[in-house]
Amino acid sequence: MPRIAYVNGRYVPHVAASVHIEDRGFQFADGVYEVVTVIAGTLMDEEGHLARLTRSLKELSIPWPVKPRTLRMIMREVVRRNRSANALLYIQITRGPAPRDFKFPAEPTPTLVITCRRTSFQPASALEKGVAVITLPDIRWQRRDIKSISLLPQALGKQQAVQAGAFEGWQVDPDGFVTEGCSSNAWIVTKQGMLVTRPASHAILNGITRQTILACATQEGIAFEERAFTVAEALDAAEALMTSAGTIALPVTRIDGQPIGDGRPGPLAKRVREMYLAHGGVADPVRAGGV
């Protein structure tokens, strides 16, 4: 069955899907995106992702290519046409094609691309053993709250992490505080059992998974603090974890080669993951296959 993509009003075979060479997304990274995880047919945190998309578009004055209601319908149709129970749904909106010029076109025709990629998520070993991260300087711009398609620093960081045998890179600000992962939010659990993650600001992308986990933690009475933490504090923490739509929540058991806590996934990382999935009403797609 061929993969199907949606491009500006048409459902097309993925291999034949294309946009204009003068699309401002291609020329200037002038666009935004969202990634929605589909687990057993459920679009996880759809509301949150659409709310953030609305905000990102507004911050960059990119008009909606279709009404939000229509977008929801297309998202479902792309999932349906790809027969994907477990998948990552990518929604990308750019300011559209225009003769190359830094200033905005007077009447933009935004581009909307939606693709769907089946996934089996991370291997079960990521849950059983946890993942390794390395730390690196945060070299990004100062509006990281906008989910921009300008992802070069994150691509460089992730590549550096992979070359170091790690799963993710944790970016660090000039004061030594962790901002976030290249494509995830960063968390620690202190020795006192306090869950800690950096507060939402222009310095990080306010993860939708992060927001749902904080809401669940409030409901379940799990103590948390939204504050920045240093690399030194993370190295000395009882646990560390990372969250994103694509990874849900993964225990981080090594930072820069040093074991965190006893070097094994801790109880709170496990609980956070279970809590998030239970909130979404789905079983763990990694464990569901049987570990």
Catalytic site positions: 147
Min dist CB 176 to ligand PMP, Å, is: 19
Q: Does 205 bind ligand PMP (CB under 6 A)?
A: yes
DSSP 177-196: BEEEESSSEEEEE-TT--EE
Options 86, 94, 148, 184; binder of ligand PMP; rule CB under 6 A: 184
The three-state secondary structure class of 198 is: coil
Q: Does 197 bind ligand PMP (CB under 6 A)?
A: no
x-marked contacts with ligand PMP along 135-174 as a string, rule CB under 6 A: ----------------------------------------
Q: Does 209 bind ligand PMP (CB under 6 A)?
A: yes
Length of the chain as a residue count = 291
Q: Does 180 bind ligand PMP (CB under 6 A)?
A: yes
Residue 25 or 207: which CB sits closer to ligand PMP? 207
**Of residues 156, 154, 222, 153, the one with CA closest to residue 193:** 222
Cα distances (Å, whole numbers) of residue 252 to 3, 134, 151, 189, 260? 33, 10, 23, 11, 8
CA 211/CA 43 separation, integer angstroms: 16
Stretch that binds ligand PMP, among 58-66, 178-186, 229-237, 255-263 (CB under 6 A): 178-186
Radius of gyration for the chain, computed over Cα atoms and rounded to the nearest angstrom = 19
Q: Does 86 bind ligand PMP (CB under 6 A)?
A: no
Binding site residues, ligand PMP, CB under 6 A: 35, 180, 183-185, 205, 207-210, 243-245
